[in-house]
A and B are shown apart, each in its own frame.
Chain A
Amino acid sequence: MMEISSIPISASHRAKLLSAGYTTLSSLSSASPSQLARDLNVGLQEAIDILKASSESCRLDMPDGAHEFCKGAQTAWDMLSEEQALRHISTGSGDLDSILGGGIHCKEVTEIGGVPGIGKTQLGIQLAVNVQIPYEFGGLGGKAIYIDTEGSFMVERAYQIAEASILDVFDNFGCPLKEIQAFSKRLKPESFLENIFYFRICSYTEQIAVINYLEQFLAEHKDVKIVIIDSVTFHFRQDFEDLALRTRVLGGMSLKLMNLAKKFSLSVVLMNQVTTKFTEGSFQLTLALGDSWSHSCTNRVILYWNGNDRHAYLDKSPYLRSASAHFSVTGKGIRDATSQCKRVRMM
């Protein structure tokens, strides 16, 4: 059994490892970066460096036959990316997160539809902000791409939502002053805004061009963890003389997005509009773009009014049961509705 003294790290790190009970290399090999960071009370990057150093010294000391093992082994960086992908992006509402199985999932395409004013853009901006919550605070610490086809992305609103999200992070974690100081540089609404790559699209040809360009862009910006298109629909509801062409273009687009989600372990969120459909003698609300489109997303969430309350319904998911949740749009962004009710009742 190899001792941790063989790892090329600083004496203070070695002391921290020992006092936290990490005495052998094998005890380190099962630790995740975030767990190690917590146990040693060090930053995440430091923890990753320690894990990298330990896996390299493993490799150096390896007898020839162990190369097989090494091929199958992961580096700490791989582990971090995997862990990131397992985390979900919070919608800002715990109730909504719970019907989604923890939030918006990476490696998947999620479609969100609803009537005008129900909060699709609000949710889009909220996700573009929340994906940036640092890893240490339960977020993904990623960046966002926001493809705005309708002109509804408002900077002042994004700023408000970012400001509130940052305050919530500090409230929830009640972290010691030292940590806040270390993060206060990064945790500013301005830097949250800067980490949203904003594309404004004015036609469906531009929309296709951007989606074709995404692969290259994402390869250069691997820290992007969410792509939001608000809405995927708008430019496809104009007069398409050739409806078969429209179906083909949309199909190709969704396939590309699904592949990007898998390849870059990121989440793709597509906002959709609703339309009325005449079935069984009455008009019913249904998501736009037709039946063939409805097969192209992994998850589907429908936002709707119930009286004066906003609700979300999980309509389609590969492994979660359909359910609905009550949410609200507040000055801070998307939040649970229940806490508001409580407040009203108390008054």
Chain B
Amino acid sequence: MHSIPPKPENPLHLRSEKLTLGCPILDALLGGGIPCGSVTELVGESGAGKTQLCLQLLLCALLPPSRGGFSSPSLYIYSEPPFPLRRLLRLSLPSLPPHPLDHVFVRPAHSPDDLLSLLSQLPDSLPVRLIIIDSIAALFRSEFDNTPRDLKRRSSLFFEIAARLKERARKLGAAVVVTNHVVDVVEAECGGSRCLFSSGRRVVPALGLAWSHCVNTRVFLTSSEGMARSSNGEECATRTRRMHVVFSPHLPESSCEFAIVGQGVLGVG
């Protein structure tokens, strides 16, 4: 094998950049923002705020570095059409450059192979610093049976996709965000993944243990309904949303409350 001897790096010179989430409370939970060079997973049931947060990140990447952004375009790959254009148009942040939507590249992906070929076509010269896959679970919803052979094929595709994403993250110095669905669990054991409660359901991230090994940081978005007494004494339903760091190489397990409002996803504290 003729390869140039690899060179070690001095950790002191490694960059550890973060992309702001556009909210100081959420940034604090994630130790400054979404880390570059690795894969961050946002997992939650439908309506948990995953896509909303992704759209917010697309704009955050355009912010100048002084405001926690990269002044760089981003790539949004969606597997659950249609592309949420109207929701993106409604979002806005201060200090954005003019015509921000010109800097958001959007591509659909219909299958795991589709995603792989799209990632391999991504040129090194494209100055994208944020890649979002929304969602990874939808790519694997069909075309796989519950046979050992198909399960094996499926998990080797997870590792191939993750390796490609991490390689891109490393080359481009980009933050990679992947969204994932949840599945209900009944047994006491969740196959190594610890479950969380959302909307009264006991849930774990979809795609199982193999996929869990593919992400560096796992962020769980949950919501729960409760009753609160309003000022006029009537009982009304309230929704409490929380963002949990489930695991991460640089963060402790922790969580904070957040809300989805007109301006976007914001931490409550």
Q: List the interface of chain A (C-beta within 8 A of B).
A: 115-117, 121-122, 145, 150-158, 190, 193-194, 196-203, 205-206, 208-210, 212-213, 216-217, 233-235, 237-240, 273-276, 278, 283, 285, 305, 329, 331
Are B218 and A116 in contact (CB-based, < 8 A)?
yes
Are B216 and A152 in contact (CB-based, < 8 A)?
yes
For the A-B complex with A150-B216, A196-B11, A238-B163 known, give 20 more contacts whose Cβ atoms are closer than 8 Å. A116-B213, A116-B218, A152-B249, A153-B11, A153-B249, A154-B250, A197-B8, A198-B10, A202-B167, A203-B167, A210-B6, A217-B5, A234-B213, A235-B163, A237-B156, A239-B157, A273-B213, A274-B213, A276-B209, A283-B191
**Which of B11, B156, B249 is the one whose CB lies under 8 Å from A198?**
B11
Are B6 and A199 in contact (CB-based, < 8 A)?
yes
| Residue of A154, A155, A200, A329 with highest tally of chain B CB at under 10 A | A154
Shortest Cβ distance from residue B149 to the other chain A in the assembled complex, whole angstroms: 13
Given A156-B250, A194-B11, A206-B6, A237 contacting B216 (CB threshold 8 A)? no
Shortest Cβ distance from residue B258 to the other chain A in the assembled complex, whole angstroms: 21
Are A209 and B14 in contact (CB-based, < 8 A)?
no
**Which of B12, B37, B209 is the one whose CB lies under 8 Å from A115?**
B209
Show 15 A/B contacts (Cβ-Cβ < 8 Å), sorted by A.
Answer: A117-B246, A150-B216, A151-B39, A152-B38, A152-B216, A157-B249, A194-B12, A197-B8, A199-B6, A203-B167, A209-B3, A234-B163, A238-B156, A274-B213, A331-B252
Does B267 make an interface contact (CB < 8 A)?
Answer: no
* Contact partners of A206 in chain B: CB under 8 A: 3, 6
Given A122-B249, A194-B10, A155 contacting B16 (CB threshold 8 A)? yes
Are A121 and B192 in contact (CB-based, < 8 A)?
no
Cα–Cα, bound, A327→B125 (Å) = 46
Which residues in chain B, 190-224, are within 8 Å of chain A measured between CB atoms?
191-194, 208-210, 212-213, 215-216, 218
Shortest Cβ distance from residue B186 to the other chain A in the assembled complex, whole angstroms: 14
Does B247 make an interface contact (CB < 8 A)?
Answer: yes
Cα–Cα, bound, A212→B1 (Å) = 10
Are A237 and B35 in contact (CB-based, < 8 A)?
no
Are A234 and B8 in contact (CB-based, < 8 A)?
no
Shortest Cβ distance from residue A244 to the other chain B in the assembled complex, whole angstroms: 16
Cα–Cα, bound, A273→B213 (Å) = 7
Are B163 and A209 in contact (CB-based, < 8 A)?
no
Are B35 and A154 in contact (CB-based, < 8 A)?
yes
Count contacts between A and B, CB distance < 8 Å.
Answer: 131
A210: nearest chain-B partner, CB-CB: B6
B16: nearest chain-A partner, CB-CB: A155
Are B159 and A193 in contact (CB-based, < 8 A)?
no
Cα–Cα, bound, A259→B88 (Å) = 57
Shortest Cβ distance from residue A233 to the other chain B in the assembled complex, whole angstroms: 8
Shortest Cβ distance from residue A212 to the other chain B in the assembled complex, whole angstroms: 7
* Contact partners of A117 in chain B: CB under 8 A: 194, 212, 218, 246-247
The 6 closest A-B pairs by CB, nearest first: A117-B247, A154-B250, A115-B192, A197-B8, A152-B249, A157-B250
B246: nearest chain-A partner, CB-CB: A117
Shortest Cβ distance from residue B263 to the other chain A in the assembled complex, whole angstroms: 29
Which residues in chain B, 1-51, are within 8 Å of chain A measured between CB atoms?
1, 3, 5-6, 8-12, 14, 16, 31, 35, 37-39
Given A151-B38, A276-B209, A145 contacting B1 (CB threshold 8 A)? no
